[in-house]
């Protein structure tokens, strides 16, 4: 997966937005102001995705390219090395799961507006 395919997929999720709130190198994808994924625009060496704590550990044990979240809460975030050892489909599933986890923290009214309850 290249950075453009990553961007396109993240932005295909309902009402997802992109921005650079931290610095000009860190691209962040959010839903209603809450981040669900990020990457370094210049290197695209890894992406960060939110994950259930138990699942985070399981994925790190199963995939060498999955590591504790870089500059993130390592209990809830994984970083995925973009080294072509994990399929695009699998990465997309993890991004979508991250998006859904973040949406689940939004007020019920907002979830209903998004069509996700």
Tens-digit pLDDT profile for residues 85-97: 999 999 999 999 9
pLDDT at 35 over 90: yes
Look up the CATH number of the domain holding residue 35: 3.90.1150.30
* Domain assignment of residue 93, given as a range: 3-114
CA dist., res. 77 & res. 42, Å (int): 21
pLDDT band at 114; cut points 50, 70, 90: confident
Q: Kindly state the average pLDDT of the residues 23-30.
A: 97
pTM for the whole thing? 0.94
What is the pLDDT, as a whole number, of residue 116? 72
**How long, in residues, is the chain?**
117
What is the pLDDT, as a whole number, of residue 113? 86
CA dist., res. 107 & res. 111, Å (int): 6
Number of domains in the chain: 1
């Amino acid at each position: 997966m290249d950075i453009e395919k990553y961007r396109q997929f993240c932005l295909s999720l309902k009402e997802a937005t992109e921005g650079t709130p931290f610095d000009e190198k860190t691209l962040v994808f959010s839903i209603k102001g809450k981040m669900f994924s990020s990457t370094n625009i210049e290197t695209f060496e890894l992406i960060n995705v939110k994950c259930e704590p138990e699942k985070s550990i399981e994925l790190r044990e199963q995939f060498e390219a999955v590591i504790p979240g870089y500059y993130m809460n390592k209990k809830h975030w994984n970083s995925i090395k973009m080294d072509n050892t994990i399929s695009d489909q699998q990465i997309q599933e993890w991004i979508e799961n991250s998006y859904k986890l973040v949406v689940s923290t939004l007020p019920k009214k907002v979830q209903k507006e998004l069509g996700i309850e």
